[in-house]
Amino acid sequence: MNTRRLFLVDDDADEQWIFNTALNAVDPTIELSRAANGQDAIRQLASSPSQPDVIFLDLNMPVMNGLECLRQLKSNPGLSGIPTIMYSTTADPQTISQSRAMGAEDFITKPYNFEELVDALRVVLSRIVA
């Protein structure tokens, strides 16, 4: 069985830790790579010999925000095919609609509790990462 890989782009170290902990609760065999902003994410992805199965992308980050990162991901032929899930505290319908129009597979509003995050990850991963 191939190792499944996820990539999380989020500038908040606490959020990264919570996401990783929830991911381990869903499936401890999934590898998680991280970047603290969109620019760092693009640089890591462009230079990596193996690509993730899914990218989780926060909206509000310094240096390069999530929408700009999504735009660059979807305009790069080598990265555009990677399913990208927006993962943010916002629940603004216009932002969600814009993200989907730009190529995001889904939009997860960051849950307020750990079990909701585990459930959300379980649902998304069952659809995208076989």
Condensed to tens digits (0 to 9), the pLDDT of residues 10-40 reads 999 988 999 999 999 998 988 999 999 999 9
pTM summary value: 0.90
In sequence order, what are the residues at sequence separation of 6 or more whose Cβ sits closer than 8 angstroms to the Cβ of residue 14?
Answer: none
Are 29 and 53 in contact by the 8 Å Cβ rule? The answer is no
Q: In what order do the strands lie in the sheet with 84-88?
A: 31-35, 5-9, 54-57, 84-88, 106-109
Q: What is the residue-averaged pLDDT of the chain?
A: 88
Give the separation between CA 106 and CA 85, rounded to whole angstroms: 5
| CB neighbourhood size of 110 (10 A) | 18
Q: Structural domain boundaries of the chain?
A: 5-128
Task: Please name the CATH architecture into which domain 5-128 falls.
Answer: 3-Layer(aba) Sandwich (3.40)
Quick one: three-class SS letters along 32-87?
A: EEEECCHHHHHHHHHHCCCCCCEEEECCCCCCCCHHHHHHHHHHCCCCCCCCEEEE
pLDDT digits (tens, 9 = 90+) for 111-120: 788 999 999 8
